[in-house]
Amino acid sequence: MVDEINFSDLLALKKISADTIVEKFGSTINSSFFDAANILGSLKIKGLVDYGTNTPGQNVISITDVGNKLLGDADIRSKESIDNLDMEIIHQLGAGKRELSDVSNSINVSQTDLAMHLNKLLVNGYADASFRNGVVNINLTDKGFNLEKEPPASNEEKNNVPSSEPAPEAKEGELMVEPEDDSAKYVAEAENAQAPEEVPKREEQQPSVPNSTPQAAVNASGVSAPVATANPGTGKEEVKEMDDLKSINGKLQSNDEEIETELKSHLTKKSKKPAVAIAVVVILIIIVVVLKVKGVI
């Protein structure tokens, strides 16, 4: 809207003092007489200022009630905290947009709201604005530039901000319970997440197994038989195992004795066979000799 108040109107209104005159207003806003006349004409049309038209002579500029109300509203809103719209304006200014028309075209908000937020940045030292040939130029200050580059606070930092509320007072007869401090818990959880707890490895206690490998015992037959050996301090299971091994050993020894007996008998039979054969041969020889003597052969 043409009659909507913009930041140029507010900035020009703040330049007007009690002794400001029309003829010298151009030098006040660093503009030519014609540019200053256009700005004053806009202010008068919007009902923000009033001035006389005495010619020749000096015409004093006075701020109307509407203009004073606008200045009062701007002063109140300048005390508000920095919000998202302020940060967007700072971002646009940091991107290189200096003229008011460039900033207003980049942000789709009403001219009056934009004027209030730009005034807030000026009052709080985040930006600086000035007229030059009837055009408003806006620049960021160091404070505003650093605010734009400052990273947003994380959720952890927000949670660690101490509360400004006073602690509740305990009434008579009531036990005052202090609230738990969760910060220590969060720190402990963070440390556990970063460095996992080292679980000590428990040495598996393996039950002592008796030496089940029997030593080779050579019996009379030359056959090795297992000999059970028991470790000291064995339990009931080890004793039972030893008994079983002894039983097996006994069976092996009895089998060895049977095998030995069979071997002896076999050897005896083998040793008898040659003697019988020799005796038969001797008998045959004797018979042959007798027959020759008798002349039978």
pLDDT single digits (tens) 88-101:
999 999 999 999 99
**Is residue 290 situated within a structural domain?**
no
- Distance (Å, whole) CA 117 – CA 100: 13
Q: Write down the mean pLDDT value for the chain.
A: 76
Q: Is the pLDDT of residue 136 over 90?
A: yes
Check whether residue 136 and residue 235 sit in a common domain: no
According to the model, what pLDDT value does residue 230 have? 47
Check whether residue 35 and residue 115 sit in a common domain: yes
Domain containing 264 equals: 215-270
Least confident range from 132-146, 206-220, 279-293: namely: 206-220
According to the model, what pLDDT value does residue 221 have? 43
Express as a percent the part of the chain with pLDDT over 70: 61
Q: Is the pLDDT of residue 169 over 70?
A: no
Check whether residue 20 and residue 141 sit in a common domain: yes
Q: Among the three residues 99, 118, 148, which one is the final residue of a domain in this structure? A: 148
**Is residue 202 situated within a structural domain?**
no
- Distance (Å, whole) CA 290 – CA 297: 9
In CATH, what number is assigned to the domain containing residue 15? 1.10.10.10
**Higher pLDDT residue, 27 or 229?**
27
- The confidence band for 85, taking pLDDT boundaries of 50, 70 and 90, is very high
**Is residue 141 situated within a structural domain?**
yes
Check whether residue 144 and residue 260 sit in a common domain: no
Check whether residue 143 and residue 227 sit in a common domain: no
Check whether residue 132 and residue 262 sit in a common domain: no
**Is residue 181 situated within a structural domain?**
no
H helical segments located in 130-181? 142-149, 155-160
**Is residue 1 situated within a structural domain?**
no
Domains identified in the chain, total number? 2
According to the model, what pLDDT value does residue 283 have? 86
Check whether residue 253 and residue 121 sit in a common domain: no
Q: Is the pLDDT of residue 224 over 60?
A: no
Check whether residue 222 and residue 135 sit in a common domain: no
> Could you count the other beta carbons within 10 Å of the beta carbon of residue 262?
10
> Could you count the other beta carbons within 10 Å of the beta carbon of residue 70?
23
* Closest listed residue to residue 108, CA positions, set 126, 138, 132, 88: 88
Q: Is the pLDDT of residue 209 over 50?
A: no
**Is residue 2 situated within a structural domain?**
no
Helix-helix angle 111-123:7-15, to 10 degrees: 50
Check whether residue 219 and residue 138 sit in a common domain: no
pTM of the full structure: 0.51
Q: Among the three residues 92, 117, 148, which one is the final residue of a domain in this structure? A: 148
Q: Among the three residues 123, 148, 173, which one is the final residue of a domain in this structure? A: 148
**Is residue 208 situated within a structural domain?**
no
Check whether residue 132 and residue 254 sit in a common domain: no
- The confidence band for 104, taking pLDDT boundaries of 50, 70 and 90, is very high
Q: How many CA atoms lie within 13 A of 210 on its CB side?
A: 21
Q: Is the pLDDT of residue 186 over 60?
A: no
Residues 6+ apart with CB under 8 A from 289: none
Q: Is the pLDDT of residue 150 over 50?
A: yes
- The confidence band for 215, taking pLDDT boundaries of 50, 70 and 90, is very low
**Is residue 72 situated within a structural domain?**
yes
Instruction: List pLDDT tens digits, range 41-80.
Output: 999 999 999 998 877 778 999 999 999 999 999 999 999 9
